[in-house]
Structure 1
């Protein structure tokens, strides 16, 4: 495609939008739709998406499908490597050419090969230090650039983990920005923390924004609306990620930092307190085993009323709920319920082991095993029934109990296998988070539903972009798009006069 052809396509899109048409979005690797929800709420039309995971694609269709049937081409899962932009447009029956069909192209490219935890896992499997660079997921961003060429969007939005800034000593966003600049875009990138934008979770994410030169705009990023002193662990991770960022780069934008005068970041109690208490896992676990993800329970009545955050989650336009809410499945881990109850807020696994050891000593005294040899069968069986087997030195962050006054730590896709990283702050409930509680901490509204069983829902939530963070970014993009169109209209009017 020639430079003149690209310019003509983009100018035609601007002309269409100038008539009042809604900007159309295509998202690649959409997951269940966290980023899409932010885009939709900011005024973008969710015209198409590509998502390989069948359950995530089904969740997307359930929440955004509208008139599209669940079995329609629009709702099907797709592999971005096998599905070209032109095939997608043909499959879903758009009446426009692929180059005419989309105004915004977004992607939450898979982060496993970029995140340090993913690299470690790949090294251990392959037995070599550079294995993560050979993971095919690490080159998906190059496939994304082909989508850019084919669709010629006015706006490009890419989200990933900050570690993509230090990918084997290589700054991938710099490369992407350079490639997009040569294709006719003004580009920039930065790190945003979800807790600064109303999400009750400390979650660092890298955003790349590219605006077509025809818009005559430069990338901007939202300013924080909440204050939080970042925990030391996040500051350390940020320093590692920024190691290969040239501060003089014309693409890198200074990371937005909140002023102390802003409202405090949303804590987990504000986020979760009105959701149903769950105790059946301990008293009657068969109830949890029979319960479905779609089963609902009534909200709690709070003496002091709802927090602003809870009200937002219940009243998100298009996803409103009234008296009941779904998603009340939790893991059944009876050995550890007493430990959860006695852990302090903010307690980690070494602390949990101390609690477990104390509970074990009490049980030894009660059972009459005091003085019994430690290799005796009864002694070993009693210990195994109370004390988790993990080495505290090797797994210091395996467990963590929420602090009700602070945001949660980062939710991950690994919650699909293990939720010990997020133990409920309410000791009386003595359990890990439910699916709906995890969704709340990720800022999914209560009317947003998840396909699949419990593990699939946790995975989808952990993989998602927090909708409130996505909304903050999308509002800026929409305002820039609208401002450009208004400015061009005023300039045209002046010339005509």
Structure 2
């Protein structure tokens, strides 16, 4: 019997896609507040999984308005009218609630970029809405994913993870006692071709029985989930077979690359001649194993030499064919100077499709929104390849309860 699920903060559906691949789950509803993500997810559910009622199952709404989300709302200028989650769940038992609040408020990079260290970002406390939905449906298991930076985030002086632990405890859920030791996982160890550390927090509903929930959670992290580990995969494994995209011999102010592959999302953003030259220098340095630019100071100096501007954070990073990629971030929607293709002759940053490949989205997972929106939803996603393994592990855990 498939486990009934609700997905919160669904995004484009990376976590959900992996769960669907297992055939162990029945999606009751998914909630996401950004329209491009909702459109992408709906198309995916119809095209790949033949979920014909995806338009109603994927709810476009603000989870902070939790009562309306549960019971419905009418004539909202942004979100229209919807009968709410309860109407979709109906009389079904909810077995699993999964998802993770937006990570920007917790990420170390986000705190560096924000002048207030993200202390005043509303996303710091979106977990409270997650907990309200869990409290309403009381699933046996919860899956809560987020960035490593959550472990140290304390916008009001108290660690966010302590607030989360207390919040789940108050509604009768147990999470593992040492999150850094158990819940922090490097997804590269599960065959995702990038170094991507994420907190995978599993919560179990306490039912007044004699089960030792900490022992069960330890067993999950030490025995069940590690069974799905595999050898690390490289950038070459992920994108090496995609057709190259070279600069034009005579670029214009609007078009600089041979963007004619006809592969969904496989076209380069525009880069000027200066940046193309820098990309060639850096990629050649790696290819020739000369290591002239393998530290932050040398990269900052290169940036100053080329632009006349100084920066406290280095701007460039070239991927290495023979290693996993660095983490694919949502910030790629704005940042065209990182995640540079390792081929010196291509002189560009990676495409949407290459980012999707490194995030383990299948090639038939289509990204038809703007380049910025596509990079954002890819960077924010749980890699589906890992999500499938997590879904199988969660199914095994459920059988123990």
Helix, strand or coil: the match of 1:399?
coil
Q: Match for residue 409 of structure 1?
A: 326
Q: Match for residue 388 of structure 1?
A: 307
Quick one: structure 1 residues 107 and 272, their matched pair in 2 at CA, closer, same or farther if it must change by over 3 Å? same
Q: Match for residue 26 of structure 1?
A: 6
Q: TM-score, normalised by structure 2?
A: 0.80
- Equivalenced residue count is 360
Distance in structure 2 (CA, Å) of the matches to 1:197 and 1:328: 25
8 Å Cα contact 1:85/1:151 also seen in 2: no
Distance in structure 1 (CA, Å) of the matches to 2:333 and 2:249: 21
Helix, strand or coil: the match of 2:143?
strand
Distance in structure 2 (CA, Å) of the matches to 1:354 and 1:121: 20
Quick one: structure 1 residues 180 and 353, their matched pair in 2 at CA, closer, same or farther if it must change by over 3 Å? closer
Q: Match for residue 86 of structure 1?
A: 71
8 Å Cα contact 2:236/2:322 also seen in 1: yes
Q: Match for residue 264 of structure 2?
A: 326
Quick one: structure 1 residues 289 and 408, their matched pair in 2 at CA, closer, same or farther if it must change by over 3 Å? closer
Distance in structure 2 (CA, Å) of the matches to 1:356 and 1:109: 35
Quick one: structure 1 residues 158 and 283, their matched pair in 2 at CA, closer, same or farther if it must change by over 3 Å? farther
**Structure 2 regions of 5+ residues with no counterpart?**
74-81
CA drift of 1:44 comes to 1.6
CA drift of 1:354 comes to 6.5
8 Å Cα contact 1:73/1:91 also seen in 2: no
Quick one: structure 1 residues 288 and 45, their matched pair in 2 at CA, closer, same or farther if it must change by over 3 Å? farther
Q: Match for residue 242 of structure 2?
A: 275
Distance in structure 2 (CA, Å) of the matches to 1:224 and 1:420: 37
CA drift of 1:281 comes to 5.3
8 Å Cα contact 1:412/1:462 also seen in 2: yes
**Higher gyration radius (CA):** 1
2:376 alignment partner, one of 459, 466, 471: 459
2:226 alignment partner, one of 223, 246, 257: 223
Query: Is 1:151 paired with 2:90?
Result: no
> Over aligned residues, Cα RMSD in angstroms?
3.0
Q: Give per-residue Cα distances to partners, 1:217-263, cap 9 Å, x unaligned.
A: 6222321766xxxxxxxxxxxxxxxxxxxxxxxxxxxxxxxxxxx73
Quick one: structure 1 residues 289 and 86, their matched pair in 2 at CA, closer, same or farther if it must change by over 3 Å? farther
Distance in structure 1 (CA, Å) of the matches to 2:235 and 2:18: 21
Q: Give per-residue Cα distances to partners, 1:385-420, cap 9 Å, x unaligned.
A: xx23442x5232x11111111111111111001132
Q: TM-score, normalised by structure 1?
A: 0.65
Distance in structure 1 (CA, Å) of the matches to 2:200 and 2:370: 31
1:204 alignment partner, one of 178, 182, 197: 197
| 1:417-456 correspondence runs (5 A) | 417-456=334-373
| 1:60-79 correspondence runs (5 A) | 60-65=41-46, 66-68=50-52, 72-79=55-62
Q: Give per-residue Cα distances to partners, 1:128-173, cap 9 Å, x unaligned.
A: x5x6333221111111111011111111111111121112253323
| 1:339-350 correspondence runs (5 A) | 339-343=278-282, 344-345=285-286, 347=293
Helix, strand or coil: the match of 1:49?
strand
